[in-house]
Structure formats: C-alpha cells, structure tokens
Amino acid sequence: MANGTLFHAFATKQELIDSIYLTTKRNFFAALALQDDEPFNRTSMRRLWDGHLTWSRAAPNRHKIKRLLLEAGLASPDAQRQADELGMPHALWLTKAHSAGLVRGPNIAFIGELIFFHIDLVIDQTLTGADEDLAFDMLCNAIGLDT
C-alpha cells in the first residue's frame, strides 16, 4: 500500500497504530466473550483458555501484533484506555473470583499477567494435547483454582 493511500485513511502514524491495536483487541475479546453471569471455575477458565489459544493459533500474526503493541507501549493512552474498557468484563470476572477466594495471587494485574504468560508459553512452545493440558493444570495450580 502506498503511503499516500495509507495516510488518506489515517492522518498520522499514531492513528494507524491505535487502529491496529484496537481492532486486534476487539477481535481478541470478541473471541473470549464471557457468558452472562458466568461462574468462575475450572470449566469456564478452560473455555477462555481454549478460546485464547484458538484465536492465537488461527492467525499467529494477530497474536504477535497484540503482544508487540502491548509490550512496546506504542498505543496511545487513549487507545490503551479503550482497550482496557474492552477487557473490563474479564477483569471484573477475575476480581470477583479473587475477592471470593476462588483464586489467589498478590493482585488482579499479577494474576492476569500470569494467565497471559502461560498462554504465550503454550503458543511459543507449540504445546498441544497432553502437554497443553499439563500447562493448563500448572496455571490452575499457580492461581489456586481447584474446582
């Protein structure tokens, strides 16, 4: 795509980066939609785990973009705020579970990062089958999710 065409749609590079970041986050959270009043348990956690892995494996470049833009801090504060709003149902779900003692960890941010880290490891190590199941069990043990 020519620069002229690209910057006809986006006035600045930051607008382009923010658009890519938010589109990726929207697609990601759409793939991990929580059911109304979904209980926090091992079954629901596995459903989200599988959804994340399926989304990431279906288009590995999307997963890489999501990680790169998050880790590099390239998205604007406004785009990061919008992305946080997209993830709010998941954060509240985890917060309720933490408050109820269903999971343990120093804080919600730590637990969330641990979950994403485990999933990234499964993807990076191309784990499947019994190895993927073991990785899920290890995550559940780490956050104290027994049931």
Distance separating alpha carbons of residues 134 and 117, to the nearest angstrom? 15
Segment 68-115, tens digit of pLDDT = 887 888 999 999 999 999 999 999 999 999 999 999 999 999 999 999
Q: Supply the range of the domain harboring residue 40.
A: 3-143
The span from the CA of 144 to the CA of 147, in Å, is 9
* Total count of domains within the chain: 1
Residue 101 in tokens:
């003692």
- In whole angstroms, how far apart are CA 68 and each of 16, 17, 108? 15, 11, 22
pLDDT at 102: 93
Q: How many residues does this entry show for the chain?
A: 147
Check which CATH number belongs to the domain holding 66 and give it. 1.10.357.10
Q: What is the pLDDT of residues 40-73, one digit of tens each?
A: 999 999 999 999 999 999 988 888 888 888 788 8
